[in-house]
Amino acid sequence: MRGTPWVVVEADDKQTIQQEFGKGEIVDQLPYKGHSVFLVQSQSTSMPPLPKTILEGPVYGVGIFRDERTARTLAKRLTEV
C-alpha cells in the first residue's frame, strides 16, 4: 500500500482506539448508536494490524483506505444508517 493508510473504526471510545492503534492519530469522531465512528490516520506507511478485539467489542468494525476522502465519506455514511 502506498501513502499513509486511513482507518475507519467503529468503537466504544477513544481509549480503545489509542490502545489498538497506538501509532495513529484520531482525526475525527462521529457519534453512532451508543458508540462512535473514528477516522484515524496511521502514522506509518505500512498497513496497520487489525485490532485484537475486532467484532467482540469494544471494536465493531474496521476499514482501511488509501485516501482520506474515501475514508471520511464512509465514516459519515456509517453514522447515517
Interval 8-65: pLDDT, tens: 998 888 988 888 877 788 999 999 888 899 999 987 766 666 766 666 678 888 888 8
The three cell numbers locating residue 61: 468494525
**Peptide bond connecting 58 to the previous residue in cis, omega within 30 degrees of 0:** yes
Cα–Cα distances in angstroms (integers) from residue 78 to residues 36, 37, 58, 60, in the given order: 10, 8, 17, 12
CA distance 31 to 10: 10
**Does the CA dihedral 45-50-52-54 come out positive or negative?**
positive
Question: Residue 32's pLDDT is what?
Answer: 87
Question: Residue 36's pLDDT is what?
Answer: 92
* pLDDT over 90 at 4, yes or no: no
Unique residue bearing C-alpha cell 453514522:
79
Question: Residue 38's pLDDT is what?
Answer: 93
